[in-house]
Structure 1
Amino acid sequence: MGKPTAIWLLIAGVLGLAAALALTVEKIELLIDPSYVPSCSINPVISCGSVMTTWQASVFGFPNSLIGVVAFTVTLVTGVLAVAGVRLPRWYWAGLAAGSLLGAVMVHWLIFQSLYRIGALCPYCMVVWSVTIPLLVVTSAIALRPLHTKAVARAIYQWRWSLVALWFTSLVLLILVRFWEYWSTLL
């Protein structure tokens, strides 16, 4: 793995962990004081308070952000090891890619819920979204790299950043379309 990819993993871990910790702190504040207005509640659309009070924010009976704290800690440690030049076994990368896939599935479900059921966007959640998808693509590319002779593995590796750009473009368009009525009042 190249140094830029290792540094990217480290940065992704830091950003994801920071967002998950911020969400956890905000959720605790909200549990302590139900009238608390989270710092990330900016307007009717960008409002993590609206998102945090829904059942979707605690799918497994505890705040989703706690899953992020654990997952992004693993990513952060992996990034530190990669930057230090530690060669991790292929099974480790396969496991990280599998975990990233589970995270991406959950993130996409949460994106759908935010856009079409809750009707609000949580800024900290969007940071997690923005880290999870590239993390899936990068860890999959690393895990599949030894199989680069296979067409699918080669395509994922060669087009990894294009896949990420396409995903971000799609997400931005979905957000613009879903909340266009609100955004157009700001123009």
Structure 2
Amino acid sequence: MTKTKQNNLSLPTVLPWLFIVLGSIAMLASLLLSIEVFDRLKNPGYVPICNLNPILSCVSVADSNQSHIFGFPNYFLGIAAYASIVTVGLSMLAGAKFKRWFWQAVQTGITLALIFITWLQFQSLYRIGALCIFCMVVWAMTGPLFWYTTLYNLRAGHIKTPTRLKGLVVFAQHYHLEILLAWFLIIISLILQRFWYYWSSLI
């Protein structure tokens, strides 16, 4: 691969597209979940398309206390948050240049989103005992959004890195994909282990 092609595939070039594509998918998943919940409220006999079996059951998740921890359904938060991410991506493609404080705000928001979905993952696996397909789509989009936003901010100097951690940052930049895949594998492994009693019954 030539140096020009490598530059064309640099993180600052790719990040706007990640914001637009991953943000749109997460926003759409949140929107679809809201539609399914509203349809069920209008018709109690309605079976949502995301209700596939006792484990993959968005109704079990949507009916839980954890689904509206802030006093309103979590999917409203998802629609607004990921719409904002898409807007940032579109603005970057249009040539917008954001200041350091803005990127720090984006980093704070996406970090809180990752913490929140990690909490929801734990709740789904070990408290609710069910998984919501649309929620898992949001999880899958949030991980890469957090990861590559963090790497971008570290590279651009929006996040100050202590000298003793610079080697770790270089390692993360070099093995970014492997680290992200490891995150996915950990989550998949936890899901398989937690509900193995059900998955094994399907074999």
**SS in structure 2 opposite 1:88?**
coil
Larger Rg: 2
Q: CA RMSD in A?
A: 1.8
Q: 2:79 aligns with which of 57, 69, 81?
A: 69
Contact 1:93-1:142 within 8 A present in 2 as well: no
TM-score, scaled to structure 1: 0.92
Q: Residues of 1 paired with 2:97 and 2:171: CA distance?
A: 24
**Secondary structure of the structure 2 residue equivalent to 1:2:** helix
1:91 positional shift: 1.8
Question: In the TM superposition, what are the counterparts of 1:1-187 in structure 2 within 5 Å?
Answer: 1-147=11-157, 150=163, 151=166, 152-187=168-203
Kindly indicate whether the alpha-carbon contact (under 8 Å) linking 1:94 and 1:140 is maintained by their aligned counterparts in 2.
no
TM-score, normalised to structure 2's length?
0.85
Per-residue CA deviation, residues 28-75 of structure 1 (Å, 9 max, x unaligned), is: 223333333211001111110111111111111110001101110011
Structure 1 pair 96–156 and aligned structure 2 pair: CA distance change class (3 A): farther
Segments of structure 2 that go 5 or more residues without pairing to the other structure are 1-10
Q: Which is further off, 8-17 or 150-159?
A: 150-159
Aligned residues between the structures? 187
User: CA separation in 2, counterparts of 1:92 and 1:154?
Assistant: 24
Shift of 1:173: 0.3
Per mean C-alpha deviation after superposition, the further-off stretch among 107-116 and 155-164 is 155-164
How big is the shift at 1:181? 1.1
**What is the percentage of aligned positions where both structures have the same residue?**
37
CA distance in structure 2 between the partners assigned to 1:89 and 1:156 by the alignment: 24
Question: Which stretch shifts more, 87-96 or 119-128?
Answer: 87-96
Alpha carbons 1:23, 1:124 under 8 Å: kept: yes
